[in-house]
A and B are shown apart, each in its own frame.
Chain A
Amino acid sequence: MLKFIVKKLLQMIPMLLLISFIVFVGLQFTGIDPIYYMISPDMAANTDNIEALRELYGFNDPLLVRYFRWLGDLLQGNFGYSIVSGSSIKTVIAQRLPATLELSAFALVLSTIIGITIGIISAIKQNGIIDYIGRVFAVVGQAIPQFFFGISMILIFAIKLGWFPTAGRMSPEGVGFGDRLWHLVLPGVTLTLSMCAVLMRYARNTMLGVLNSDYIKTARSKGIPEWKVYLKHGFRNAMRPVLVILCFRLPMLIGGSVVIEEVFAWPGIGTILTQAVVSGDYPVILVTTLMVAAAMLVASFLVDVLTALLDPRVRIGE
């Protein structure tokens, strides 16, 4: 098992290098010349100056050299600087990441609990009232644009009813847990609901498939009570694919709330990424992408390990 884990971990490194390289190279084609962000407009008139600066910063070096220089810096903890604001990317991320994690983790946990519970109940009581409501909710939930839903929430609960703030992560004067939570509710609930729909459907269909299998019939033929049939034999088997989907959702912790952050002016990674894309701030894009990629690889690593742990067919082998 340990060997398996180490092997999987080692496999992540070339993957990460590959992704970073592809994005690095890709962003070279954007046609944005970072030099113009670094000098004042009157200096830009003098082409000699620009050339000299290019040489100084190494922008004329071959692509590979620049890539490995960037990579080297990164490994030493130097994330580079935003070419738009000039601020250290490390600082920016250190400020923003907690906000995104807070929002996404809230939604991920809540949507998991709600989605799986309703999905499983819908499968057990197929065509029952919960199944019906759940299905309508899933269908409608998948058709409403996320931001439109968010705006509607703001209008109803923030503007008309005044229960929650319209935007932001905390009040300027307010500090403490209560204030944070108060700000978190609307974006959190919006993100939760939009993440729920797919999971619910998936959990329901997986559980339905499991409940139709022969071993469920075997379990029933033993005369054990239905709740044991559902939990011990049904749920346990349905959980494996559902957990896999959950792991694959982990990258959403970092990159899954871009739109919601924009709607609720949530100061997270999503907002910087959007700004960076609009302004062509490629060092920022590069670092953000790499973070999401790392999260993604961790997720697929977890999936491998979890499947191995949960499924004796993988764990023990034939």
Chain B
Amino acid sequence: MELTLKEKRSASSSLMKKNIRKFLNNRLAMIGLIFMLILLFMCVFAPLFTSYDAETVDFTAMRAAPSREHIFGTDRLGRDIFARILYGGRVSILVGVVGAFSGSLIGMVLGSIAGYFGGKIDALLVRISELFQTFPQMVLILIMVAVLGQGLENLLIIFSLTGWMTTFRMVRNEFLSLKEETYVKVCEAFGMSKMSIMFGQILPNVMSPVIVATTVNVAGFILQEASLSFLGVGVPTTIPTWGNILNAAKSIDVVTNYWWLWLIPGLVITIFVLAVNFFGDGLRDVLDPKQQ
């Protein structure tokens, strides 16, 4: 049956409308999206929400409990925790987003190559991805920290290097089946370059699951950053991040007597990650209903 271009367009836009409606009807996904956006907005426009600075030390108010002036209290140097959470959120979220995106990028490129060319390249890349996947992630990251040294940029590199495997697998598997499709054969027969077939013709069909996986990775890397900074090998302590704020909880004295120093930032991370995950699940239902 012949479809005119206009009909095709209206079909795709009605699919889009249907998907958006489906997403809007998913209550958890919407709650996730709203929480995510609120927190993101507050972090980006932090100065609108707090008059304090993340770095200003105030020795007159050290480890002050939450009060009218400091709604989340202050830390051992008298820095306002609410301000630190907002400014720290910028870095933490940035690390998660950039890490996940560049990881997915690596995964897409390698996955396309492995899936399209197959053979020895494929076998080698699959083997490497398996190695990366079976290595306990924390140990892998720690080794890389040892090699590259500590620092924000290095952490981003490390996250990209440890977060490409899921995307790689998905893209590769899709490529393996899609490259047998007629339309790819037609493109080849027309003499299109391998690059434009791979990235222009096949890759767009794989984007939905990749977007979902990237969202999940954003959440994962935010947690990962927190853990690393807690261990003291993440982002240098001079830069506030959610993990660095929580580093205070290493002391049993803090855990026992100054709950606001760790409970509040911990809850903020949990809520944000939860929101991202809910959002990602909702996205999966809409974009990639095959996977559960």
CB distance from A302 to the nearest CB of B (A): 11
Neighbouring A residues of B263 by C-beta, 8 Å:
152
Binary CB contact string for chain B from 219 to 230 against chain A (1 if under 8 A, 0 otherwise): 100010011001
Neighbouring B residues of A277 by C-beta, 8 Å:
142-143, 145-146, 233
Neighbouring B residues of A191 by C-beta, 8 Å:
none
Give the interface size bracket for A toward B. Answer: 35 or more
In contact, B139 and A151 (Cβ under 8 angstroms): no
Neighbouring B residues of A251 by C-beta, 8 Å:
134-136, 139
Main secondary structure of the interface of B (DSSP, over half): helix
| B272 to A, closest residue via Cβ | A143
In contact, B139 and A289 (Cβ under 8 angstroms): yes
In contact, B274 and A30 (Cβ under 8 angstroms): no
Neighbouring B residues of A278 by C-beta, 8 Å:
232-233
| A280 to B, closest residue via Cβ | B146
In contact, B143 and A289 (Cβ under 8 angstroms): yes
In contact, B138 and A30 (Cβ under 8 angstroms): no
Give the interface size bracket for B toward A. Answer: 35 or more
Q: Does B256 contact A (CB under 8 A)?
A: yes
A23 to B135, CA, bound (A): 13
CB distance from A256 to the nearest CB of B (A): 5
A31 to B151, CA, bound (A): 15
Binary CB contact string for chain A from 262 to 275 against chain B (1 if under 8 A, 0 otherwise): 10000000000110
> Which of B135, B139, B273 counts the most chain A CB atoms within 10 A?
B139
Q: Does B255 contact A (CB under 8 A)?
A: yes
CB distance from A200 to the nearest CB of B (A): 13
| B225 to A, closest residue via Cβ | A145
In contact, B139 and A143 (Cβ under 8 angstroms): no
CB distance from A303 to the nearest CB of B (A): 9
Tell whether A255 pairs with B232 under 8 Å between CB atoms, given A145-B270, A285-B143. no
Neighbouring A residues of B142 by C-beta, 8 Å:
258, 273-274, 277, 285
Given contacts A256-B138, A262-B231, 4 further A-B contacts (CB under 8 A): A152-B263, A154-B252, A299-B134, A300-B130
A-side residues, CB < 8 A to B, are 15, 19, 23, 26-27, 29-31, 139-140, 142-148, 151-152, 154-155, 159, 166-167, 205, 208, 248, 251-252, 254-256, 258-259, 262, 273-274, 276-278, 280, 282, 285, 288-289, 292-293, 296, 299-300
The 7 closest A-B pairs by CB, nearest first: A255-B139, A255-B136, A148-B266, A143-B274, A143-B273, A26-B147, A258-B138
